[in-house]
Each structure stands twice: as C-alpha cells, then as structure tokens.
Structure 1
Amino acid sequence: MSYSRTLTGHVQDYLRVKRQMGFELRSQGPQLLAFVRFAEHCGHRGPVTLDLILRWASDTHSERPITAAKRVEVLRPFTRYLQQYAPGTEVPPPRMLGSTHHRPVPHIYSDEEVDALLIAARHLSPRGGLRPATYETLFGLLAATGMRISEALRLERSDVMLEQGMLRVRNSKFKKSRLIPLHATTVAALQRYEHARDQFLPLATDDNFFLSGWGCALKIWNAEDAFSTLRRRLGWVARGDHSAPRIHDLRHTFISNCLLRWYRRQIKVDNAIAALSTYVGHVRVTDTYWYINTIPQLMAVASQRFERYAREIANEHP
C-alpha cells in the first residue's frame, strides 16, 4: 500500500472522528483531501513535512497571502492527529505564514438604503403575489433584529410567537438556541405577512414561516437571487472590501447601529454589549465586537465622548 493511500485513510479517519464530535468541517474536509491529491501528484513518500505543506499552501491561483496562511491552518490540527500514527510528521507552527483573520470591511447600510430595499422588494414580480410580501418581510426582519439569514429561513410557524412578541431560534450556529424579543413594529409586519401568506396558501402544509409562492420553504439561494435582483435595480455600490453589498451586511449594520444608539443615550457599552451578544446569538462577546464598524456617525459620537472625558480630566488636574 502506498503512503499516499495510507494518508487518504488517515484523513478519512480524522474527519469521521471530528464529525462524531460535532464538527461539520464543510470546507476543511475537501481541503484535506485536496492536500492528499497534491501529495500524490508530487510523488511524495514518507511522513508529512513542512516542505510539502508549504508547497501545497503556495499552490493556489490566489495571490493573497491569507489564502496560503489558511491552508496551513487547516493542516495544523490534522498533522497533530497524524503524529500518533506517523511520528515523523512535522506540525507547522502557529501563524507560520501570517494571520488567517483578515476582516473585510462590510457595507454598512444607511436608513435610506434599508427603506429603499424594502420598497423595491414590495415591487418584485409577480405584482400582487406572495413573493413581494415574503422578501419585504424577510429583509425587514433581518434589518430589525440582526438575525442570520439561515436562522430566519429556518423559522417554523411555532417559532414565531407574535402574541408574546418573540421569535424562537432553534439549533443555530454552534448548536445554540435563543429567544429574540421583537419591537412592536416588527410584530405588526410579521402579522401582516402571516395574514397574506395564509390567504395566498390556505392549504400549505409546510411548517416554515417564510414560504415561496408555491408553498415551499425558501432556500438560501432563493433569497440571494432576490437580493441580487434588488441590488442591481437600486444601483448600489459597495462601501467596503466586498465586491457588492450583501445580505449579511444587514447584520453588521444592526450591531453597529446598536452601539451608535448606546453612545447617543449615554449607555455603558461594556454592560450592554453582553446583552447584545446573547441577542444576536454569539458565543463570546468578542464575536460581537468583531462586527462593530467605524461608521462616520459612530466615530463622531465617540469623539465627542472622548472630548468630554478629556475636559473632565483636565479640570480635575489643572
């Protein structure tokens, strides 16, 4: 048996063990198998070495250094696992090719852009059908709560508790569940959609809250396609590192706007951020800070607060 075939077996065993532990490894699995194919193509024999890892990391069409760094990071836990079977395996040190955590600047929507998005969704085809109401309500919900698009699309009818003014998000990212309190205007919008949906689809048997005009649960690509159509109609130009504004940027916008409101209302951010982290379904508060962006309004308010702080210090120590 060749070493490359043995390496394939080790990768498959590793992925099976990790998935049994609850890790999905959707991108890491294909990358590890691509590494095995690369080793085969190179005719590599013997334990995995740093030289082989570096050659694979650099064998990419991307010129961005972070791409090679991420490839190395995918191999680090696997090579540690592999050492118990092949003691000569070399484990790459942390950050061997630099950081893997570059944060692309998102598009932060203005209030006018969110309003325009919902108005444009209202005029989607077919006019007078369920589809316009579905996307106006869906995108409005994302803007109003900062939910992930996947969470909103998985909502079942029983999860939308409008009498209590709550949403129940079940088994979201990291297998976490939570309740999301809703503003009265959001409750009213969901009630209007619920009424329209049940009028259009009185016999629908799908349990999902958001339905297509055919009575089926919406898929992520349905929402992405509708959003792309609206984005083109509105002629939006991205303000950030992505090629175009994204649905996920509504989540960034919600979190950044929360911080802006706190500063304007003199609320202690360090206390409020923990509650926001729970609200949006983050495991760590640092994950929520990751979403905060230096929008001009936020920087202006923060600057004013710093000026007041500096004056107070100066008055205390003339």
Structure 2
Amino acid sequence: MSAWHDPDRTVIDAFLDKSQFRPGSRPTYRWFLRSFEEVALRHPAVDRQMLDDWLGGMATRWKLSTLLNQVCIVDRFLDYLAQNELIPGNPVAELRRQHNIKQNKPIWRALSSPNPDEALADLHRPAPYGSILGEFMRDHVTLMRNRGYQYEAQAYWLLRFDRFLQSHPELADEPLETMLSHWAAAKPTRNHAAECQKLGRILTKARHRLDPNIPPKRFNPRPEREVAREHRRPHIFSLADIRHMLEVARSYPSPHAQLRPLTLYTMILLAYCAGLRRSEIARLDLGDVDLRSGTITIRETKFYKTRILPQSDSVMTELRVYLDARRRAGAPQDLQSGLFWQSHFNGHHTPETVTTMITNVMRRAEFKPPSGRTGPRVHDLRHSMVVNRILEWYRSGINPQDRLHFLSTYLGHRDINSTLVYITVTQDLLQEASERFRAVGVPCLNGEALS
C-alpha cells in the first residue's frame, strides 16, 4: 500500500511543473523524488519509519553532505503533499515543532546520524516562554507589538533569558535582580553585558507599569557605551567606488542565469540611489515601479511606513532597461510578481539572498576579502547615499540642516534622530563643513559682523 494515492504516478511531475524549476534541474529532482516514492510505496504512511528507511538507502549511494544539500527538495515535496491532502502532514515539520527547531535541516541531519533518537534529543530546545517569567514576558511583547512596535530584537533577548531560566530552575524563587545577575555572569563578553543591561531595563519598566509601587531601577550605562565604542564604522563608498561596483555587477559571470548581471546592477543602483534596505529591495513588486511618474513605491516596511520615492531620469532609464530584459527573460508580468523575479520563494528573493548576491559583487570588486565578515556591508550603501547627498548639498551651497527632515522622510525613518546615525564624518565632509565654518564664522571672529 502506497503512502499516498497516486496510481498513475503523476504527483511528482505535477509538483515539478508547479515549482517551475530550471529545465536543467528537473531530471535530477525527478530522480531524487522517484527514489523517495519507491520507498513510500512500501509503507502505509509517510512517517518516521519511512524516512529512516529512505535515508538508510540513500546513505549507501550519496555522501552525507551531498544528501543534506538535496533534502530541501523532499521538504518542499512533503509540504506539497500535505497542502493537497495526499498525506496528513509533513513529518519533518512535526518533528521540528516537537523539538522547537526553526529549520528542517537539523532534523534531517539528526535522522541521518547513527543514533537518530539521541541526536534529536540533543536538538531539543525549551518551549518559548516556558519559564517562571514566561507569561509575563510574552504579555509584554504582545503589548508592545499591539502598540505598533516591531519589537524583534527585544523579543529575541527575552527568549534567550527565558531559555536560561528554564535551564536553571533553582532561580525560580529568586527576585528578578538575582536572575539578571546570574544571566549577566553566564557569558563574560561585553555584548552580553550590554544586552543584560537593556534586558533589565525592559523588565523593570514592564514590572513598574503593572505595579507602580515597584520603583524603577537605575542601570550602569558603561557596558552599552563600551559596545557602542567598538561598533564597526560604516564604509562610505565614493562615487567612483559605486561606478566600479556597477561595472562589476554588469559583467558578473552567470552562464545559467542570463538576467542575473542586470539584476545585480539594478539592485545595487536602487540600494544606493534610493537608499533602500535589503528587505525593501527583496519585497519590491513589478507594480511598485511607475515609469510615467518616475517613482518607486516602498510598501509597509520598517515602522509600518509606505513611501513614494521620486528617482532621477538616469535611474528610471536603467529601470526601463531592466524591465525590458526581465520581460524578454519570460518573467511574469502581473503587478504582484517580484520586481527582481526568480522561480523560487513565490517569485521574490529573500533579504538574505539579496545580501549574498550584492556581497558577492563587493568581493569580486575587491571591496571585501574572498571570505569572512570583514569589509563593507550591503547596508553601507545606504550610509553612503546619506553622506554623499549631504556632501553634494554642501558643495551646492545648501544648508544640510534645512534638508535633513526631507532626507529622513525619504529614507523611511521614524524621526530625524535615526537619520543622524547615518551621518559618518568623512574627510571630504569634514573639509566642506570646515569651509562652511570659515566662510561664516571667521568674519564673526574678526568682528566684521559687529561693524
């Protein structure tokens, strides 16, 4: 009896057709899924036993590293079967939920190990907000998000603290200050010390909100200052650097994806000229580009803001070239399809993929070393846009202070203070500011303003 009903054996082909894989990849994926189907035919259900039998057979023909790189196609196939009600559910996703694991690949690695039960037990993570303070912290995160805050980093700190408390049940009856001191002593790094200070401030404020009789506590600001002092300084690209990067992107070698060089070129162009975040680049739809008005629309991004950004004629010309190439490449033309289209992930690149693609261009342009995290980041293109715009204002005789609120709105910032963080003092910017001071301030110092 087969694990799913498919007497004509057409389910795999239907899945491959819907997924729109590249023609060259389809034979490999079909063979891989057929091997999975052959094992499924011998089992009444797609369950842990069936997965163990299939992995055992594949391990004799494939290296473990190669096998783990290919199981993603089986993950997607299992989701397809579950969505079409051919199987009750994805057993790998169920194991992930049982052990509180975010990704499927560690589950596959554990199932492929010599002792799967022990490996799965090692993967197990405590349930979110399962500690003595779990309900209090969950309610606080819900409250802040209901008020309009994204509250991602803070929720991550609270979850880490929650896992720590679950692993130290002896602290359950201790006061909050004792719990925080033990958490601060768990790691000796400066980043952890600063995180503990922020976490303590969040929890004491939340507790004071529930009970005003509990006085707020003053925390030592030194750890946060030390971390801020060590924070990596943004790399400011010059106009020549941007031109070089665009040339490298346009000539990027991509024999199997003809549209990729122009995609990279346009991504970098918008990241710099429009100052877009990587998530904003990834979420752009075809309908967000208005060639008639010369604008692009950024919808519901950070701080839940939507903004319409006018672009220069040269940028719109390059966008028109990209859209023509995109149409010739056979990309869908409906307005909800991804501007930077690809056949996976609902036609959109993920923000992580955007980072990887632009970073590869930076490495090829020799702005970053061949490997590692050192060197410029993708977000530094946004920093460079701000600094170079202010530099252009100085050179045009415009007072930047009169324009900063416009720049803040253009970047999608909550207030002007967020924009000030992007102003990195470069040598050119310092020179222009000094010249501005010399022209205005020197006559005052010489007493000319009083005459």
Please give the range of the TM-score, normalised by the shorter of the 2 chains. Answer: 0.7 to 0.9
3-state secondary structure, aligned to 1:99: helix
Q: Deviations over 1:257-289 (max 9, x none)?
A: 111011111112211111111111112112111
Structure 1 residue 61: Cα displacement: 5.3
3-state secondary structure, aligned to 2:384: helix
Q: Deviations over 1:217-241 (max 9, x none)?
A: 1111222222232222222259xxx
Q: Deviations over 1:173-228 (max 9, x none)?
A: 10111110100000000000000001102546562211136682111122222223
Structure 1, 82-91 or 107-116: larger mean CA deviation = 82-91
Report the Cα distance in structure 1 between the residues aligned to 2:297 and 2:432, rounded to whole angstroms: 34
Structure 1 residue 76: Cα displacement: 1.9
Structure 1, 198-207 or 144-153: larger mean CA deviation = 198-207
The one-letter code matched in structure 1 to 2:200 is L
- The aligned counterpart of 2:396 is 265
**Pick from 146, 149, 171: which aligns with 1:23?**
149
The one-letter code matched in structure 1 to 2:205 is R
Alignment of 1:1-150 (within 5 A): 5-42=131-168, 43-46=170-173, 48-60=175-187, 62=189, 64=190, 66-82=191-207, 91-99=216-224, 102=228, 104-127=232-255, 129-150=258-279
Report the Cα distance in structure 2 between the residues aligned to 1:174 and 1:78, rounded to whole angstroms: 23
The one-letter code matched in structure 2 to 1:259 is I
- The percent identity for this pair of structures is 26
- The aligned counterpart of 1:298 is 429
Say if 1:144 and 1:49 are closer, same or farther in 2 by CA, change over 3 A.
Answer: same
Question: Does the aligned pair in 1 maintain the 2:294–2:312 contact within 8 Å?
Answer: yes
The one-letter code matched in structure 2 to 1:46 is D
User: Which of structure 1's runs of 4+ aligned residues deviate more than 6 A?
Assistant: 84-90
Question: Does the aligned pair in 1 maintain the 2:131–2:165 contact within 8 Å?
Answer: no
CA RMSD of aligned residues (A): 2.7
- The aligned counterpart of 2:39 is none
Question: Does the aligned pair in 2 maintain the 1:256–1:293 contact within 8 Å?
Answer: yes
Question: Does the aligned pair in 2 maintain the 1:134–1:193 contact within 8 Å?
Answer: yes
Say if 1:78 and 1:115 are closer, same or farther in 2 by CA, change over 3 A.
Answer: same
Structure 1 residue 99: Cα displacement: 3.4
Structure 1 residue 124: Cα displacement: 2.2
Report the Cα distance in structure 2 between the residues aligned to 1:261 and 1:87, rounded to whole angstroms: 51
Say if 1:34 and 1:218 are closer, same or farther in 2 by CA, change over 3 A.
Answer: closer
Highest CA radius of gyration, 1 or 2? 2
The one-letter code matched in structure 2 to 1:59 is A
Alignment of 1:179-218 (within 5 A): 179-203=308-332, 207-212=337-342, 216-218=347-349
Report the Cα distance in structure 1 between the residues aligned to 2:173 and 2:222, rounded to whole angstroms: 24
Question: Does the aligned pair in 2 maintain the 1:57–1:69 contact within 8 Å?
Answer: no
Q: Gaps spanning 5+ residues in structure 1: where? A: none
The one-letter code matched in structure 1 to 2:232 is P
Count of aligned positions:
310
Report the Cα distance in structure 2 between the residues aligned to 1:7 and 1:55, rounded to whole angstroms: 15
Report the Cα distance in structure 1 between the residues aligned to 2:308 and 2:210, rounded to whole angstroms: 45
- The aligned counterpart of 2:413 is 282
- The aligned counterpart of 2:366 is 235
Q: Gaps spanning 5+ residues in structure 2: where? A: 1-129
Structure 1 residue 40: Cα displacement: 4.3
Q: Please, what TM-score do these two structures have when normalized by structure 2?
A: 0.63
Q: Deviations over 1:11-44 (max 9, x none)?
A: 2232233333333332322322322333344411
- The aligned counterpart of 2:350 is 219
